[in-house]
Amino acid sequence: MRGDATPLGHVRRAPSVAATSLSGESLSGAGLSAADVLSRVPGVQVTRTGAQSDVATASIRGADADQVPVYLAGVRLNDEVSGTADLASVPLWLIERVEVFRGNAPEAADRLGIGGAIFFWPRVPRATRLGGGVGLGSFGERQGWVFAELGSPRAASLVAVRRSAANNDYSYTDDRGQRFDLDERRAVRQNADFAQTDAWAIGRWQLGRGARASSVLSLVEREQGVTSLALAPVRRARSTTRRLLFGGSVLVPCAANERCRLELETSAISAGSRIADPALELQALGARWLDDRGERASQRARLVYQLSPELSLSAGVTAALENLRVRRDGALPRGGNRRTLLPSLAAEWRPLPALAVFALAALECHFTRGQSVRFGFGIEQGSDGCPVQPALRLGLAYTLAPRLELLSNVARYVRAPTLGELYGTSALVDGNPNLRAETGVSLDVGLRHTLRFAEGRDALSVDAFAFARDADELVRYRRSSLEALSPFNVARARLLGVELAAAADLFQHVRLEASGTLLDARETTRDPTLDPTPNDVLPNSARLTLSTLAELYTTLDGSLLGRASLGLRYFHKSSRYADPAGQNVLPEQHFVDVEAGAHFFGERLALRVALDNLFDTQTSDLIGLPVPGRSYHATLSLTF
Amino acid sequence: MSLRFVPLQLSLSLSLCAALACNVAGDDVTTTGVQLPNEPAPEDSEPRGLLVLETDYSSTSVSLVDPSGALLSPVFIGSGSADTGLSTALSGDVVPPSGALAGDEVVLIDRDAAVLTWVNLETAAVRAQLNVGTGFAANPQDYVPVSDDKAYVTRFEHNGSSGLEDFDQGSDVLIIDPSAPSVVGRIDLAPALEGEGSGHLPRATRALAAGGRVLLLAQAGNALFEFLDTRLVVIDPETDAIDQVLVLEGLKSCANLALSPDGDELAIACNGAFGQDPEQGFPDAGIVLVSLGHEVAEQARFLAAELGGEQVSALAYASATSLLFTTYGRYSADASELLAPDTLRRLDLERGAIDDEPLVATRTSAFSLGDVRCTPLAGTCVLSDAESEGGVLRRFEVASDGSVSELGQIATNPELGLPPRYLGAY
């Protein structure tokens, strides 16, 4: 959250929404991943499956990860198989700003997401400079990157490339599945190494008369071992992932005095992965290789018109095409395609100087077709027309006193089924073309306050929200044939929670941050056949997450040493159930990290070090998937 | 109070909350064992009691009932009986052995973790556990005690990266010493597939001891779950060698077996190949009766068409002339409609025909009926039903003529609410 004018970063483009913005040093720590950053945001719970290169997902306010769209440079990363976005695929090193919309996504999102939305925005080129850096860390972590930036007020561009790799051969406590008769021993994670190349090309242009344009091109290629559960180590299965992403936007004023503007956004993404399992170690795969690929292209147009100083209206429409192909050794291919139309209307009205009202209405229409497999033959299936689902939000922002705002939102959102859910992904997971969208109705109320002390230098920000959501038509998998599962709209849930975030900058040398979430996530499915267990606490949802930072820093202008800092972080996640019956309790987590950084010659040379998991806590977010213990990370970057 | 200290206060109060209230409570249900009668070890046809394994495939609990289904212990052991670490105490994929267990212990087979757990029946205490995975996801299927220091464990999966640990080839029978416990050897089942092309694995599943021999089913499948005809493999426990292989011609995926009350006959249930069109009538599914003479030999066969037209799942002898079996239901192609329910049916072995009406049929779901288990000498049977009331054990009475009538049903573990799926015996 460092780097903002106020200690706690907010997102101004959705003023009534509980939203957190992170930038600057918050995104620059040694060994820092996208999952690390998000785990410090109130309302967000991150689930990791291993090291930084292994799959990690984020849920917001108890929503499943597939109900949270995640965007990189404005392009949605969620795939059409699981519906989730893998945070490990987000290269944080060139990210300038992260915006987390808790519970309510902004109008710009192409999915308004039951759980909100997460945006990763890459660095915008501004100056002419060259730079590069190297990084080292535990478990064979190493990386190196270079970038070149060419900029003027009218146009700027940036190209950057990074190569990173790690062995990820960390040790963990292996209980050999014998929890009653403990025979624990230290084991080393096998086949967990990865190597990745990612490249960026970013441009921006001032086109005159207030018009401007920008473009982003990002390529990620990764090769890594597939680890699976630690109890049954996988030694030879490997996966390769490739993702090419393009985003372009143009903003054109359409009236004098900037009362009207037209926004055009184009995005395209092509992503694919291939898992090779020559020794058939991955039972769930049931094949020697699996290849899935998807593409999506979308175009969005939005017209914003300021009718009066008190009222502005906007109308937008997003059209998208996407497809998914899943091919598996010895099996017929599966897949599908989707055509989406998302018209939206939004209004911002300020009837009183202290009151702002925000309204958003959108319709989601998804027309899909897919290829399933039945009795050994491929069959074509499709949606019956274009089922329309409305998404609505009404938000209020009321200024109670200077720098003290009361915020509230009531909303209804939907999550359209993925193509994988509709048409199946394997012989073991059939689709269900009759699947309906998941729906959620939510309400939140919050306070946001920033206080400045003497001379306007020390400051304290507090952000507190209470929220409630009722989710219906939730998808759960049930056995549908002798060998396969299928998804059905069978479950309901109710979620209540409180989020608190506070940050203080004191005495020009002390920074304190704390964020925490209390969550009560309950299953409310009434059918005893579907939900037979009396326990109604949803699995994998911690009732409390807490992240704190205490940092000492100094800034010495004009000297060899610029900013220097030493910080101590503490992260806590309460214990949580791993199963619907509430029999398996994943232990609470406590992590303490130490981080330090120093800038020399202004901002030109930066050295950052971190010691993560100082007390070598052995734990996991999911049964059987240990996360690393204590590790060190160091980066050295140079810009000139 | 200065606002400057709000973050600290927030941190402290939230930490207090964590310590006091925010952690979830583990399962604190008291586990209890049962009083064992001071009698000799039972025969398969007359167990002292039954194990009921309840699961939602995420976690497991075990209850004990008497042969008529009367509840003895609602919580004998479960996934919540030990702390969670890298793994759980019991995963959601735990089954009991096919045969009745003698002595004062039962064995639970955790297929997901590849771990055997020996539990004392009277104290519910775990004596020992043994990982039989030998370094890979071995998927153990059954446990057959041979003597105090010898038992067989059938393993379904093959290890494509074998050679790193002893006995880690997989798709075999692992020989263990349950008294230690430890792994002491393996029986290669590859000879059971002699004459078949390469690429198929034995894929050992359920097994039983009968007449001094061990009989196991080898499903003979390749890595892509395409199966040949199932083999009944006879092993001599004196030599740990294959004595005989009986190919069940034309029948596939045979996954359950039951011993007749006199121990002279074996009934085998075959559910047929995965993913076949029901319109074809499941020609590779059915029930086979095998005589257990000096040589095992097929003596009768009932194809799915004679058994109600659906795929056969579990089975049990209700009497010498009466066999109960379950069939899988099925849904329409888009899974929106139940086309055939799960059923429990009776096969009259004297007539060689099934009763006209099923004893049980599910109302709204398929794959809800689990194991059926009978105690012929007591004239009782029980069926696990995951649909009714969220999961119950249904109790049946067997008349002297072999006819069967339902006595009632019981929720074996209402406190946890997990539905019963598998039945074992001790």
pLDDT in tens, B199-228: 899 999 999 999 999 999 999 998 777 899
Task: Please tell me which of the candidates A570, A575, A624 has its beta carbon nearest to residue B86.
Answer: A624
Edge-first strand order for the sheet with B126-131 is: B94-95, B105-110, B115-120, B126-131
Nearest chain B CA: its distance from A321 CA (Å): 25
Confidence of residue A209 (pLDDT cuts 50, 70, 90): confident
Q: Are B84 and A587 in contact (CB under 8 A)?
A: yes
Q: Quick one: pLDDT at residue B5?
A: 47
Q: Closest chain B residue to A478 measured between Cα atoms?
A: B367
Chain B residues in contact with A173 (beta carbon < 8 A): 85-86
Closest CA to A337 of A268, A420, A265, A428: A420
**Which residues, at least 6 apart from B356, have a Cβ–Cβ distance to it below 8 Å?**
none
Closest CA to B393 of B424, B348, B353, B365: B424
| Most B CBs within 10 Å, among A584, A617, A622, A627, to test the B interface | A584
Tokens (6 digits) for B196? 């078949």
Task: Please tell me which of the candidates A230, A286, A502 has its beta carbon nearest to residue B86.
Answer: A230
Q: What are phi and psi of A58, to 5 degrees?
A: -120, 140
Q: Quick one: pLDDT at residue B25?
A: 80
Binary contact (A434, B336; C-beta < 8 A): yes
When pLDDT is averaged across residues B50-73 and rounded to a whole number, the result is 96
Percent of residues, chain B, with pLDDT higher than 70: 92
Q: Are A447 and A407 in contact (CB under 8 A)?
A: yes
When pLDDT is averaged across residues A178-190 and rounded to a whole number, the result is 93
Q: Quick one: pLDDT at residue A560?
A: 84
Q: Closest chain A residue to B336 measured between Cα atoms?
A: A434
Binary contact (A514, B117; C-beta < 8 A): no
Task: Please tell me which of the candidates B7, B58, B84 has its beta carbon nearest to residue A512.
Answer: B7
When pLDDT is averaged across residues B399-426 and rounded to a whole number, the result is 95
Q: Distance between CA atoms of A43 and A103, rounded to whole angstroms?
A: 9
What average pLDDT does chain A have?
A: 93
Q: Are A599 and A564 in contact (CB under 8 A)?
A: yes
> Does the pLDDT of residue B10 top 60, yes or no?
no
Chain A residues in contact with B89 (beta carbon < 8 A): 179-180, 584
Q: Quick one: pLDDT at residue B124?
A: 96
Q: Quick one: pLDDT at residue A1?
A: 42
Task: Please tell me which of the candidates B18, B335, B386 has its beta carbon nearest to residue A588.
Answer: B18
Binary contact (A546, B15; C-beta < 8 A): yes
Q: Which of A596-610, B22-36, B288-302 has the lowest mean pLDDT?
A: B22-36
Task: Please tell me which of the candidates B3, B25, B335 has its beta carbon nearest to residue A480.
Answer: B335
Closest CA to B336 of A488, A368, A560, A269: A488
Chain A residues in contact with B219 (beta carbon < 8 A): none
Q: Quick one: pLDDT at residue B2?
A: 44
Q: In this predicted model, which residue has the larger pLDDT, A117 or A384?
A: A117
Q: Which string of DSSP letters, residue by residue, matches B107-153?
A: EEEETTTTEEEEEETTT--EEEEEE--TTS---EEEEEEEETTEEEE
Chain B contacts in chain A segment 200-229 (CB below 8 A): 229
**Amino acid letter for position B344:** L
Residue A528: which region, alpha, beta or left (left: phi > 0; alpha: psi -120 to 50)? alpha
pLDDT tens for residues A438-456?
999 999 999 999 887 766 5
Binary contact (B160, A172; C-beta < 8 A): no
Q: Are A356 and A400 in contact (CB under 8 A)?
A: no
C-alpha distance across the termini of chain A, in Å: 26
Task: Please tell me which of the candidates A427, A432, A462 has its beta carbon nearest to residue B275.
Answer: A427
How many angstroms separate the Cα of A631 from the Cα of each of A89, A141, A611, A616, A625? Answer: 21, 10, 6, 8, 17
Closest CA to B274 of B339, B316, B224, B233: B224
Nearest chain A CA: its distance from B145 CA (Å): 21
User: How many alpha carbons fall within 13 Å on the CB side of residue A541?
Assistant: 25
Q: Quick one: pLDDT at residue B12?
A: 56
When pLDDT is averaged across residues A413-432 and rounded to a whole number, the result is 91
The string over A27-49, giving b where at least 16 C-beta atoms fall within 10 Å of a residue's C-beta and e elsewhere, is bbbbbbbbbbbbbbbbbbbbbbb
Binary contact (B80, A584; C-beta < 8 A): yes
Q: Are A316 and A334 in contact (CB under 8 A)?
A: no
Put simply, whether A614 touches B (Cβ < 8 Å) is: no
Q: Quick one: pLDDT at residue A454?
A: 67
The string over A376-400, giving b where at least 16 C-beta atoms fall within 10 Å of a residue's C-beta and e elsewhere, is eeeeebebeeeeebebebbbbbeee
**Which residues, at least 6 apart from B2, have a Cβ–Cβ distance to it below 8 Å?**
none
Put simply, whether B197 touches A (Cβ < 8 Å) is: no
Confidence of residue B334 (pLDDT cuts 50, 70, 90): confident
Task: Please tell me which of the candidates B129, B133, B391 has its beta carbon nearest to residue A180.
Answer: B129
Put simply, whether B123 touches A (Cβ < 8 Å) is: no
Chain A contacts in chain B segment 374-403 (CB below 8 A): 386-387, 389-391
Q: Quick one: pLDDT at residue A115?
A: 93
Binary contact (B83, A587; C-beta < 8 A): yes
Put simply, whether B405 touches A (Cβ < 8 Å) is: no
Chain B contacts in chain A segment 44-83 (CB below 8 A): none
Closest CA to A96 of A122, A133, A128: A122
Nearest chain A CA: its distance from B422 CA (Å): 16
Binary contact (A232, B334; C-beta < 8 A): no
Percent of residues, chain A, with pLDDT higher than 90: 79
Put simply, whether B110 touches A (Cβ < 8 Å) is: yes
Q: Are A386 and A437 in contact (CB under 8 A)?
A: no
Q: What are phi and psi of B191, to 5 degrees?
A: -60, -20
> Does the pLDDT of residue A457 top 80, yes or no?
no
Signed CA dihedral, B414, B418, B421, B425: sign only? negative
Binary contact (B333, A179; C-beta < 8 A): no
Name the pairing type of β-strands A70-72 and A116-122: parallel
Binary contact (A177, B114; C-beta < 8 A): yes
Task: Please tell me which of the candidates A434, A518, A620 has its beta carbon nearest to residue B86.
Answer: A620
Task: Give the helix ranges, DSSP H, for A394-520.
Answer: 419-423
Q: Are B339 and B332 in contact (CB under 8 A)?
A: yes
Tokens (6 digits) for A484? 């396969």
Q: Closest chain A residue to B329 measured between Cα atoms?
A: A481
Chain B contacts in chain A segment 408-427 (CB below 8 A): 427
Total Cβ atoms within 10 A of residue A469: 23
When pLDDT is averaged across residues A62-78 and rounded to a whole number, the result is 95
Confidence of residue B14 (pLDDT cuts 50, 70, 90): low
Task: Please tell me which of the candidates A427, A534, A544 has its beta carbon nearest to residue B417.
Answer: A534
Q: Distance between CA atoms of A23 and A86, rounded to whole angstroms?
A: 21
Q: Distance between CA atoms of A44 and B240, rounded to whole angstroms?
A: 56
Place of tokens 């981080």: A595
Could you tell me where the beta strands, DSSP code E, fall in A509-560?
A: 510-523, 544-555
What average pLDDT does chain B have?
A: 92
**Amino acid letter for position A369:** R
Put simply, whether A384 touches B (Cβ < 8 Å) is: no
**Which residues, at least 6 apart from A458, have a Cβ–Cβ distance to it below 8 Å?**
A452, A504, A505, A506, A507, A508, B4
How many residues are listed for chain A in this entry?
Answer: 640
Q: Are A269 and A293 in contact (CB under 8 A)?
A: no
Q: Distance between CA atoms of B89 and B87, rounded to whole angstroms?
A: 7
Put simply, whether A457 touches B (Cβ < 8 Å) is: no
Q: Distance between CA atoms of A20 and A3, rounded to whole angstroms?
A: 13
Q: Closest chain B residue to A505 measured between Cα atoms?
A: B4
Three-state DSSP class for residue B305: helix
Chain B residues in contact with A512 (beta carbon < 8 A): 7-8
Q: Quick one: pLDDT at residue B226?
A: 86
Three-state DSSP class for residue A57: strand
Put simply, whether B114 touches A (Cβ < 8 Å) is: yes
Closest CA to B340 of A480, A551, A80: A480
Signed CA dihedral, A3, A6, A12, A14: sign only? positive
Q: In this predicted model, which residue has the larger pLDDT, B109 or A229?
A: B109
Put simply, whether A513 touches B (Cβ < 8 Å) is: yes
> Does the pLDDT of residue B315 top 70, yes or no?
yes
Binary contact (A177, B4; C-beta < 8 A): no
Cis (ω within 30 of 0) for the bond into B181?
yes
> Does the pLDDT of residue A291 top 90, yes or no?
yes
Strand-pairing partners, residue A286, are: none
pTM to 2 decimal places = 0.93
Q: Distance between CA atoms of A414 and A365, rounded to whole angstroms?
A: 11
> Does the pLDDT of residue A559 top 90, yes or no?
no
How many angstroms separate the Cα of A412 from the Cα of each of A13, A45, A83, A339, A363? Answer: 20, 22, 20, 22, 11
ipTM for the whole complex: 0.92
Q: Quick one: pLDDT at residue A230?
A: 86
Q: Are A157 and A201 in contact (CB under 8 A)?
A: yes
Total Cβ atoms within 10 A of residue B376: 23
